[in-house]
Amino acid sequence: MSELLADLLSQQTTQLEQLIELQQREKELLVKRDAPALDVVTQQKEQVLDTIQRLDDALANHPQQHLVSSHPELREQRKTILALMQTCQNNNEVNGQLVRVTLGRIQQLKQTLQAAHSGTTITYTSKGKTSSGPSGSSIKA
Tens of pLDDT, residues 36-88: 999 999 999 999 999 999 999 999 999 999 999 899 999 999 999 999 999 99
Task: Classify residue 125: in a domain, yes or no.
Answer: no
The closest of 112, 119, 115, 118 to 139, measured between CA atoms, is 119
Task: Classify residue 135: in a domain, yes or no.
Answer: no
Task: Classify residue 124: in a domain, yes or no.
Answer: no
Count of the separate structural domains present in the chain: 1
Task: Classify residue 87: in a domain, yes or no.
Answer: yes
What is the DSSP-derived secondary structure letter of residue 35? H
Task: Classify residue 86: in a domain, yes or no.
Answer: yes
Task: Classify residue 105: in a domain, yes or no.
Answer: no
Give per-residue pLDDT as tens, 86-140.
999 999 999 999 999 888 888 888 887 877 777 666 667 777 776 666 555 555 5
Domain that holds residue 51: 2-91
Beta bridge partners of 122: 132
Is the pTM for the entire model greater than 0.85? no
Task: Classify residue 14: in a domain, yes or no.
Answer: yes
The closest of 112, 95, 93, 87 to 31, measured between CA atoms, is 95
